[in-house]
Amino acid sequence: MNMHAIPQRTSAETALIDAFGERLSLLPGDGEIMVRRDEAIERLKAGLPTKRVESWHYTDLRRLLTAVPQYDGSAKAEVLSPILEGSAVLPVLNGVAATNKLPTLDGVTIQPLAEKLADGSFAAAALDLYGNDDAVGALNTAFVADGYFVDIAAGTELATPLELQNVQAGGQTHVRFPVRIGKGARVTVLERQAGEGTALASSVSQLLVGDDAEVLWLIEQEQADTATHLAQFKASLGKNAKLTLFVMNTGGKLVRQEIIVDAAGEGSVFTLRGVNLLAGDTHTDVTMVLDHSVPHTTSTEVVRYVITDKAQGVFQGRINVAQKAQKTDAKMACNTLLLSDDGEFSVKPELEIFADDVQCGHGATVTEINHDHLFYLMARGVDEKTARGLLVKAFVAEVIEELEDEALVDALEARIETWFATHG
């Protein structure tokens, strides 16, 4: 996003700027919200980030985003059956909240975001961008049209999971899910990103996790292999809050999933687990920035990739430990199985540490399937293809099985099976 370095707009940049002109009158919200939208489009006018922008080093968005599809108001998406039976589904169909199908739950206030943006009750500051290189945030802030605002009252314990369903049917969609989780609440939220057709989807989930709350948040991204999916997950944790984020990427042509978490309350615990199954000619980037801002916070991250065909995988994980954040305990691991010679994987695990009394570490490995393990299985009469399949599945199952919810583990393992059936 450097004004000087960008001599000429790409067709994608031009298309985005033109789309803003066309959409402007239809976008909900005015006043402060409009100011934010204008600022955001100015950022995009300065150019999409290239690999020279450090946080986009391995995902040169300017080069990779070659085409931007038009809005397609006529395209229709259908509500999908939920990942877990019995979940309360909040559907967004092709960018529009489907309000006729909303569930009612005790202690949970749900409002379509379009309404909230329009009636002026949405705090515009929530649309502020993150730093100078927040292209995903800028795109979403400029165009966001709908989504859900979810407010979970203090002490609420949801028996059934909430499923935020964002289903594309082609064209552009820009949605946002601001979620406030009250003190001591316990919830499971499944964020489902799916769809068909050539789509450009931006989606931002932003959480405020109250003191002592416990949240399991699962992002399941299963877009079509023609879709560009630019997503952001932002969360701020209160005192002794626990957030477990589980990210599973199995689709999309160009995917950037940003995770921006601030462990802002003492005693808060953040856990990230990720499974990325990449195939075809696709590019998937998971970028995490985790701030430990106060003393006594804990985090662990385990992210795994399986890469086949010509797929490119990227993981960037930065842990910032502020000067006063003594007693931070932060550990991050990224493991990758690179299964094809045309596949690529790049990883940048960063530590930025300003406090001394901390325990921080990261590990990263890139390798192919262990030959000893393969031999062990084949010596027992398992053919090579099956043996490889078993080992790769075991590699990701290790992460999935950490989820304590058995039904959820089964549901995800079924999805992994499906992926392997097509790509294995």
DSSP 151-164: EE-TT-B-SS-EEE
To which H or E segment does residue 352 belong? strand 344-353
Return the number of the residue (88 or 279) whose C-beta is nearest another protein: 279
Query: Amino acid identity, residue 378?
Result: M
- Which among 86-94, 147-155, 287-295, 348-356 is the span making contact with another protein, rule CB under 8 A? 348-356
Among 60, 133, 151, 344, binds another protein (CB under 8 A): 344
Q: Does 364 bind another protein (CB under 8 A)?
A: yes
Instruction: Give the pairing type, strands 88-93 and 96-97.
Output: antiparallel
Which of the 8 DSSP states describes residue 192? E
Among 126, 346, 377, 378, binds another protein (CB under 8 A): 346
Among 6, 84, 118, 353, binds another protein (CB under 8 A): 353
Secondary structure string (H, E, C) spanning 261-317:
EEECCCCCEEEEEEEEEECCCCEEEEEEEEEECCCCCEEEEEEEEEECCCCEEEEEE
Return the number of the residue (84 or 366) whose C-beta is nearest another protein: 366
Residues 250-269 that bind another protein (CB under 8 A): none
- Which among 53-61, 268-276, 285-293, 373-381 is the span making contact with another protein, rule CB under 8 A? 53-61
Among 121, 359, 386, 418, binds another protein (CB under 8 A): 359
- Which among 28-36, 80-88, 269-277, 346-354 is the span making contact with another protein, rule CB under 8 A? 346-354
Structural contact between residues 180 and 211, judged by C-beta atoms closer than 8 angstroms:
no
Among 211, 280, 326, 374, binds another protein (CB under 8 A): 326
Written as six digits, the tokens of 12 are 């994608």
151 vs 210: CA distance, rounded Å: 11
Residues 88-117 that bind another protein (CB under 8 A): none
Among 67, 354, 383, 407, binds another protein (CB under 8 A): 354
Q: Does 363 bind another protein (CB under 8 A)?
A: yes
For the packed helices 11-23 and 32-45, what is the interaxial angle rounded to 10 degrees?
160
Site residues (vs another protein, CB under 8 A): 54, 57-58, 323, 326, 336, 338-341, 343-368
